[in-house]
Amino acid sequence: MPIYLYILRRVLFAIPVLLGITLVAFVISNAVPADPMLANLGQRSISNPTIVENFRREWGLDQPAPVQYVVYLSNLLRGNLGMSIKSRRPVLEDLQAYFPATIELATSSIVLALVVGVGAGVISAVWRNHPIDFVARFISLIGVSAPVFWLAIIFLVIFYSRLGWAPGPGRLDVRLSPPPYYTGFYTIDSALAGQWNTFWNAVGHLVLPSLVLASYSTGVITRVTRSAMLEVLSQDYVRTARSKGLRERAVILTHAFSNARLPIVTIIGLSYSTLLTGAVLTETIFAWPGIGRYVFRASTSLDFPAIMGSSLVIAFVFVVMNLLVDVLYYLLDPRIRAA
């Protein structure tokens, strides 16, 4: 099957999933015993029937649930995610404001996790049962076992509060104004604008949250890489390569690693979801103005348009990520192409 057909098929498959996501988000929002009116209507308004009436009409709360859902979907098709009840801004605008912060954090974490995780995994497989292997395995175990929020506090107390080595919460020092908006990534934007002061500050602020957020993924990637490498290293063709007198480095890099890529790619795709899980907690502690904190605040104040909008966008990114992983898989593995 040609690659474009494969992608097209996968995209078509994604549509019902996305639709289902809107439905699940909608059902959760509506199956709530709590009354969004109470949580969101301004003071002195709740006793005023006209204002209550307007509120219900504005948010479609006066319609039966299926109608509300259809209204929501048709708005969605026109790119309208509704208004956040809490911030009183369009949800789309809110997401545009908060999403880049999360992506910036997630990207730097996944890069960190990849470099460290794959490196440690390969090293630990090659030097199996060597002390290095034990150290790498132990550290990866810490990564998958330590609660993210706990690590965040420990890092914050030690490296920010006690030692002062790293900047603290937030994306930038409060004193600095954000760079001009091009992409929403402070590092890229400040570099584009030539504000190197701001650039280094933004990089500094990324260090602690990225380390914390990367911890779990690093652990998982190390473990998967190690066992994938071990599997491959015990295969016949690697033994053959070795016996042919190829240098060990060449054996590991060209033969073994290239075959261990598949499981690694899969786990990276999966890591994305855990990364977002961690992002909610990390962002809360590091006062990171990202999507995680946004969703958290939306759910504590029962701001349904915001919850639904952000779940949808996040799920969309997730589906796209999976799609990319599958395509990558497809390109890397000739067996699937044949099938």
Partner 1 sequence: MRKIVSFLMFTLMLLTLVSVSLAQDEQVLVYGIAENTDSLDPARGYTPQEGTVNHATYETLVTWPPSDNTEVLPMLAESWTISEDGLTYTFTLRSDVTFHDGSPMVASDVVFSFLRLKYVGGNPSFLAESIASVEAPDDTTVVITLSQADPAILAKLASAPFSVVSEAIVTANGGTAAEDAAETDAAEAFLNSTSAGTGPYVLESWEQSVTTVLVRNENYWGEAPFFDRIIFQNIPEAASQAAALQVGDIDIAADITADQIESLTANGDVVIEQVATPTIMFLLFNQDESIGGPVSNPDVQRAIRYAIDYESILALTGGSGVQPPSVIPVGFAGALPNEEVIVRDVEMARSLLAEAGYADGFTIDLQYPEFTLQGVAIGDVAQVVQANLAEVGITVNLAPGELLAELDLYRNGQEGLGLWWWSPDFQDAVSNLEFLPARTVGNRVNWTDENSDAEIQEVRDQAFAETDAAARAELVQQAQRYLQENGPFAPLAQVGRQIGLRADITGFTFNPQWDVDVIQLAR
Partner 2 sequence: MRNLFRWLVRNPFTLMGVIVVLLWTVGAITAHWIAPYDPLAQNVSNRLQAPNAEHIWGTDQLGRDIYSRVLYGGRISLPAGLIAVFFATVIGSLIGATAGYAGGLWDELLMRLTEIFMAFPTIILAMAISAALGPSIVNAMIALVVVSWPSYARIMRGLVISEKVHEYVVASHAMGASHLRILLRAILPNCLSSIIVVATLDFGNAILLFAGLSFLGLGPEPASPEWGRMVSTGIDFFDQWWMSIFPGLAMFTVVMAFNFIGDGIRDLADPHTAKR
Residues paired with residue 90 on neighbouring β-strands, in sequence order: 83
Cα separation, 116 vs 111, in Å, equals 8
Taking CB under 8 A as the binding criterion, the range among 45-53, 184-192, 259-267, 313-321 that sits at the site for partner 2 is: 313-321
Q: What is the dihedral angle through the alpha carbons of 58, 61, 65, 69, rounded to the nearest 10 degrees?
A: 20
Handedness of CA 242, 245, 251, 256 (dihedral sign): negative
DSSP state of 172: S
Judged by beta carbon distances under 5 to 8 A according to partner kind, the member of partner 1, partner 2, none in contact with residue 34 is partner 2
Name the residue among 216, 213, 267, 219 with its Cα closest to residue 105.
Answer: 213
Q: In terms of DSSP H, where are the helices of the chain? A: 3-30, 36-40, 49-58, 65-77, 91-126, 131-145, 148-155, 186-192, 196-233, 236-243, 248-250, 258-285, 291-300, 304-332, 334-338
14, 28, 46, 188: which one contacts partner 1 (CB under 8 A)?
Answer: 46
Q: Does residue 266 belong to the site contacting partner 2 (CB under 8 A)?
A: no
Judged by beta carbon distances under 5 to 8 A according to partner kind, the member of partner 1, partner 2, none in contact with residue 47 is partner 1
87, 107, 274, 277: which one contacts partner 1 (CB under 8 A)?
Answer: 87
| Interface characters, 279-298, with partner 2 (x: CB under 8 A) | -xx--xx---------xx--
Contact 172, 185 (CB under 8 A): no
Taking CB under 8 A as the binding criterion, the range among 1-9, 66-74, 181-189, 278-286 that sits at the site for partner 2 is: 278-286
Contact 22, 73 (CB under 8 A): yes
**Site for partner 1, residues 141 to 200, rule: CB under 8 A:** 156, 160-161, 164, 167-169, 173-176, 194-198
230, 262, 325, 332: which one contacts partner 2 (CB under 8 A)?
Answer: 230
Judged by beta carbon distances under 5 to 8 A according to partner kind, the member of partner 2, partner 1, none in contact with residue 175 is partner 1
Residues paired with residue 83 on neighbouring β-strands, in sequence order: 90
DSSP state of 247: -
Q: Does residue 11 belong to the site contacting partner 2 (CB under 8 A)?
A: no
**Site for partner 1, residues 231 to 260, rule: CB under 8 A:** none
**C-alpha distances in angstroms, 12 versus 6, 82, 132, 317, 338?**
10, 26, 47, 15, 21
Q: Which is nearer to partner 1, 44 or 249 (CB)?
A: 44
| Interface characters, 275-304, with partner 1 (x: CB under 8 A) | ------------x-x-------x--xxx--
DSSP string, 119-136: HHHHHHHHTTTSHHHHHH
Judged by beta carbon distances under 5 to 8 A according to partner kind, the member of partner 1, partner 2, none in contact with residue 284 is partner 2
Look-up: residue for tokens 């502690």? 285
Q: Which is nearer to partner 1, 76 or 176 (CB)?
A: 176
Cα separation, 259 vs 235, in Å, equals 10
Q: Which is nearer to partner 1, 69 or 99 (CB)?
A: 99
**Contacting residues for 69 by C-beta, under 8 A, at least 6 apart:** 22, 23, 26
Q: Does residue 318 belong to the site contacting partner 2 (CB under 8 A)?
A: yes
Taking CB under 8 A as the binding criterion, the range among 45-53, 61-69, 152-160, 250-258 that sits at the site for partner 2 is: 152-160
- Which amino acid is present at 321? M
Least spacing, CB of residue 187 vs partner 2, in Å: 24
Q: Does residue 84 belong to the site contacting partner 1 (CB under 8 A)?
A: no
Q: Which is nearer to partner 1, 115 or 154 (CB)?
A: 154
294 half-sphere exposure, CB direction, 13 A CA radius? 30
**What is the enclosing helix (H) or strand (E) of 171?**
none
Name the residue among 309, 307, 317 with its Cα closest to residue 28.
Answer: 307
Number of chain positions touching partner 1 (CB under 8 A): 34
Q: Which positions lie near partner 2, rule CB under 8 A?
A: 16-18, 20-21, 23-25, 28-29, 31-34, 128, 141-142, 144-150, 153-154, 156-157, 161, 227, 230, 234, 273-274, 276-277, 280-281, 284-285, 295-296, 299-300, 302, 307, 310-311, 314-315, 318-319
